[in-house]
Homo-oligomer: A and B are copies of this chain.
Amino acid sequence: MNVSELAKAVKSGDRRALARAITLVESAREDHRASANALLTGLRADAGGQGKEALRIGLSGTPGVGKSTFIENFGMRLTAAGLRVAVLAVDPSSTRSGGSILGDKTRMEKLSREPLAFIRPSPSQTRLGGVARRTRDVVALCEAAGFDVVLIETVGVGQSETMVAGMSDLFVLLMAPGGGDELQGVKRGIMEMADIILVNKADGDLRAAATRTAADYAGALRLLRRRPQDPEGFPKALMISALNDDGLGQAWDEMQALATWRHDNGHWQGRRAAQARAWFEDEVRQGLLAQLTSSEKIRRKLDDLGQEVAEGQRSAPDAAAEILSDLADP
């Protein structure tokens, strides 16, 4: 199957073609990168440069907060309503080779059997820049393949959340009920990105704690400045029980309300355009900075000089000038 046949099959909703296309896009091989770019460009051209837009939902939460249970029941709710849902996992800390399909499929057992759902495990990758590039491509593929909702899930490790928020239309943060204080483990700066905070596990023994935690976060959110892209009342903190499928309908209503408001007020297209431009600039920067890692010699020198600077043996500008002159004149 050549690239244009593959593009056609992806557009027609062929799941195996989509899986093949994703594998192509995720590949680090030079010739695969070229085919992948041709594929993406072809899909864009077919769609007249636009195509149908999916709702891209970024989802984050620390391990154990119940992300899998949430995605399982939330996804089932969407497919029950006839919506096609793609679930992409981003785990920059993962060193698994090839992604653990079994892992991701077992943790969302019902959803993985749903004809309207498509679950893609995290690509194995060490560099976050690489994950970002590939995930953006995969999101674009899923959109071109006609999915209504693309859920991009990440574990709560700072940088990856910024990355996921930067490719989502809205960003949802899943939280555990805090016994209080520092147990909660919120990464600072994450609340900055959240459009909706869902305090999970509002069931059984934890119900009271969840109620309190949701109120605490609602209070904390009120202390922060209202962003132009938010209607009255957002960002919002809600309490849910993913396990009991409790509150997920309301969560979905809130997401739709927010998406609709942003559509109607020009923030949706504005955000998409800004994200596309940021993606372009990021690709350019990554391409330039790749010079720093492309040769073993440069990598070693960077490391040695960095060590000297950290130990106070050399000034930073002085050491930097040396590397830059090496790069300009190899």
Contact = CB atoms under 8 A, between A and B. Distances in A.
Interface of A: 37, 40-41, 44, 49-50, 133, 136-137, 140, 178, 180-182, 184-189, 191-193, 216-217, 219-220, 222-226, 273-274, 276-277, 279-285, 287-289, 291-292, 302, 305-307, 309-313, 315-321, 323-324, 327
A41 B277 contact: no
B192 A188 contact: yes
B225 A182 contact: yes
- Copies of this chain, count: 2
10 contacts: A37-B318, A178-B223, A184-B224, A184-B225, A188-B224, A277-B310, A283-B321, A284-B320, A287-B324, A288-B292
A35 to B, nearest CB: 12
B320 A283 contact: yes
Given A189-B192, A285-B289, A288-B289, A279 B316 contact: yes
Contacts of A323: 284, 287
Nearest to A319: B280
The 8 lowest CB-CB distance pairs between A and B, nearest first, are A188-B192, A283-B320, A280-B316, A279-B316, A273-B310, A189-B189, A189-B192, A287-B324
